[in-house]
Structure 1
Amino acid sequence: MRTAALRLAAATLLLAGCGAQEPPAPPTTPTAATRAGDVSTVDQASTERYRYDVNYPALAARDATLAAALRAYGEQRKREFLAAAEGAPRSADTEFVPWELHLRFDVRADTGDFLAIVATGEAYSGGAHGNPVIASFVLHRASDRVVTMADLFADAEEGERALGDYARRELVARRAAARPLDNAELRWLRDGTAPRPENYAVFAIDGDGARPARGLVLIFPPYQVAPYADGAVEVAVPASVFRELLRPAFRGAFEKATQ
């Protein structure tokens, strides 16, 4: 049985198969731990056609808005996966490898002001490797909203440009330590860090429980700024880079620059 490696990445489930149809076997009963106090909730099932497991964290009652967002995302991913897996053709001439979906939600930071969760996983439908799945969910507790990067800034493009400039310098320095970057690689970095919403869809708060937060963690999925083999690439951006560009409601949640 293939064990899928979990990689951080924003990717869609691009699912394919081959051959003649056979009716799927009845699935095993999905299991879910739902009692108060459970460490997590696991939704899982297995048939001869597919296997899936979706792992949800246990969250406090005050974070119900975030819990609902995680559940909605997990259910959407599962529906897409099952629809494709159940309709995939099979061939008598080719050994069929069950499709797999693995997804988990992990707490990345809880600063009091923010609770940040990153979803990572993989959908496998044959081929050399699975398709990475990556997303982030950042709850601003004072407003009880799951916020996007654009929500944080008074001018989203200006904020993303500041983040991108910092990230690009950091990534160039990392890569150049091994060898000089060629023009194609530099264009790749410029495109992947350009001030566009899709480039900043996945992020977390940089904090360890002590508020205010140190900054933001940009999470670039595979292929966005580096080859697939590099996996997801993270850059921590200190609050001093962007704090004055934030909407006033969010500035107090990030530390001020030290003199």
Structure 2
Amino acid sequence: MSSYLAVSPPRLRDALLACGLAVVLASCDRGGGTPEAEPPTGGALDAVDQPAASAPDTPVGPVELVDVSDATADYVVGITYPPSAARYPALAARLKAYADAARDDLMQAVQAKGEGGPPSLYDLSLSFTEVVDTPELFAVAAEGSSYTGGAHSAPLLARFVWLPKENRLLEITDLIPEGDGWRDIAGMVREQLHTSLSQRIDADKLEPGERDAMAREAGRMIDDGTGPEPENYRDFEPVVDRSGRIVAIRFVFPPYQVGPYSDGAQSVEIPAAALRPHVAQAYRDLFVP
């Protein structure tokens, strides 16, 4: 079972923040022997990447978040939004921009395929899901996939943490400034991922040679994807208690960053007690003591 193959597509990510309902548009058994394709770069999603979240967003009017269900002979698109995101127009605009960028990338691929292209049906499945809703924080998970040929779909994954009182996104470097603390955080994340990897390999009951090869290759992906650079941790979501205080931060990693596509998205929770010393003073009150 050689699932731990090295593939290195880019991360398709954040520029926004929202909630949504699940969309399921399965794209199984794509390849029929087609080599595994990396997700495309340089598309519309890259254009909306890395929003400027250190200042309040420019006020905008109401943004209508309308679920999308569109099917033709060439493609299928399904996008869902949570109604609660409309309470924050600037956030809703970012969510819509993320979804529009993903759809633009799909349509460019459809046009490039043309009439003489492969017969496979292209598709986009994207859902925004509310994960936290308190007076201090509103967090949304965006997850889905886009299939534009190759062995399987390209993953779509982003997290958006909104500060309602400041009317802006909370970026990871706002929460935890760049500095020595990131070495400690990276070490804690890496340790959890290596432990999880060992448990998965043990469960597979592999031959020693195959086990060693998988552990070595997947371990390298973990180490490469968890360096102490904040960019590696930009997809995060707060885990809150009943009072709305943060008890942990969940870092989410898309397929390929810390493991092969077959492992899917992976996440690691770091408790508030371990993070609080590294959190910017302005946001420490959001955490449990």
- Partner SS state of residue 151, structure 2: coil
Q: Post-superposition shift, 1:150?
A: 1.1
1:174 is the counterpart of 2:196:
yes
**Count of residue correspondences:** 224
| Corresponding residue of 1:214 | 247
| Corresponding residue of 1:250 | 283
Q: Post-superposition shift, 1:208?
A: 4.8
Amino acid at match of 1:59: S
Amino acid at match of 2:120: V
Cα shift readout 1:50-90 (whole Å, capped 9, x = no counterpart): 12121111126542222121111111111222122123233
Match of 1:85 among 78, 86, 110: 110
State, as a whole percentage, how many aligned pairs show the same letter. 30
Amino acid at match of 2:97: A
Q: Structure 1: 5+ residue runs without aligned partners?
A: 6-11, 16-35
The structure with the greater share of residues assigned to helix is 2
Cα shift readout 1:75-130 (whole Å, capped 9, x = no counterpart): 11112221221232333xx7612210111101122243211111111111222211
Residue pair 2:79, 2:127 contacting (<8 A) in 1 also: yes
Structure with bigger RCO (C-alpha 8 Å, 6+ apart)? 2
Q: Structure 1: how far apart are the matches of 2:244 and 2:142?
A: 23
Q: Structure 1: how far apart are the matches of 2:278 and 2:153?
A: 38
4+ runs deviating over 6 angstroms:
none
- Residues 46-65 of structure 1 mapped to structure 2, 5 A cutoff: 46-59=71-84, 62-65=87-90
Match of 1:200 among 215, 227, 233: 233
Residue pair 1:110, 1:207 contacting (<8 A) in 2 also: no
Cα shift readout 1:158-199 (whole Å, capped 9, x = no counterpart): 343332111111122222334487444433222211122331
- Partner SS state of residue 67, structure 2: strand
Q: TM-score by structure 2 length?
A: 0.69
Q: TM-score by structure 1 length?
A: 0.77
Q: Structure 2: how far apart are the matches of 1:60 and 1:45?
A: 22
Query: Root-mean-square deviation (CA), in Å?
Result: 2.6
Match of 2:123 among 96, 100, 103: 100
Q: Post-superposition shift, 1:214?
A: 0.7
Amino acid at match of 2:180: E
Q: Post-superposition shift, 1:49?
A: 1.7
- Partner SS state of residue 70, structure 2: strand
Amino acid at match of 2:96: R
The structure with the greater share of residues assigned to strand is 1
